[in-house]
Amino acid sequence: MNSFRAFTALRERYAAWHDVLRAPTDELEEVIRPGGLAPTKSRRIQHVLAEVYEATHGTWDLGFLGTMPLAEARAWLTSLVGIGRKTASIILLFNFGRPAMPVDTHVHRVATRLGMLPPRTPLDRAHDLLEEVLRPEEMYAFHVELIRHGRDTCRAPRPICGLCPLTDVCAYFADAIRGRAPMAPIPRNAAGGDVPARYHDELIHGWAPPEQPAGSRSVDR
């Protein structure tokens, strides 16, 4: 994935966050160019690093986000330039195990089709609604599996409803079988049988867990 290539290039070029902060912006822009939008992202990365450096007195330790009230931790993150509700929730959920529900385009689409969100719900409101109905221990798996389901089956603009295990509880499918919503046919090369679970970072970001060689599979943790 482009974002992974850009992050890998950044970590290979710079030994520490201090180096990223002090690098010439045009140099950083070239390093992260594979990720796209490099002129904007290079400036934002350095701006955020400057704020984190000041807030942590040069330690780069964001551990306080794991102990401060959730709303305050979210507000602190979203006060940083370029960080919105989704990114803040990803940081809190993945890095600190906090019950913050990230809503990306896949999560929003699948949850809407299942009837968990009203049609045309704004993204910020979608975060709130899903956090209200999910238990804290459900949010991690819900986020990861809806991304997987949205990429593999419940695609935009036409989902492959014939491969979906959720049609008995899906509001979209109830419309689709009545001809009121489009759905795609099952692909001829659709794989049968069980699909092994994938580690969340490999699924979402493209890299394997540290304890496994690239290309291997493990059960989501």
| Tens-digit pLDDT profile for residues 79-114 | 999 999 999 999 999 999 999 999 999 999 999 999
How many Cβ atoms sit within 10 Å of the Cβ of residue 97?
13
Which pLDDT belongs to residue 194?
Answer: 53
How many Cβ atoms sit within 10 Å of the Cβ of residue 214?
9
Which pLDDT belongs to residue 192?
Answer: 53
Q: Where are the domains of the chain?
A: 1-61, 101-187+196-207
Residue 40 CA to residue 29 CA, distance in Å, equals 8
- CB neighbours of 193 closer than 8 A, spacing ≥ 6? none
The CATH class for the domain spanning 101-187+196-207 reads: mainly alpha
| Ranges of residues in the chain whose predicted pLDDT is under 50 | 193, 197-201, 203-205, 207-221
Q: Crossing angle for the helix pair 123-133 and 139-152, nearest 10 degrees?
A: 130
Quote the Cα angle for 1-88-23, to 5°: 65
Residue 146 CA to residue 213 CA, distance in Å, equals 25
Among the listed residues 158, 163, 202, the one whose alpha carbon sits nearest the alpha carbon of residue 181: 158
Which pLDDT belongs to residue 191?
Answer: 54
User: What token pair was written down for 121?
Assistant: 């719900």
What is the pTM (predicted TM-score) of this model?
A: 0.82
Which pLDDT belongs to residue 214?
Answer: 43
Which pLDDT belongs to residue 216?
Answer: 41
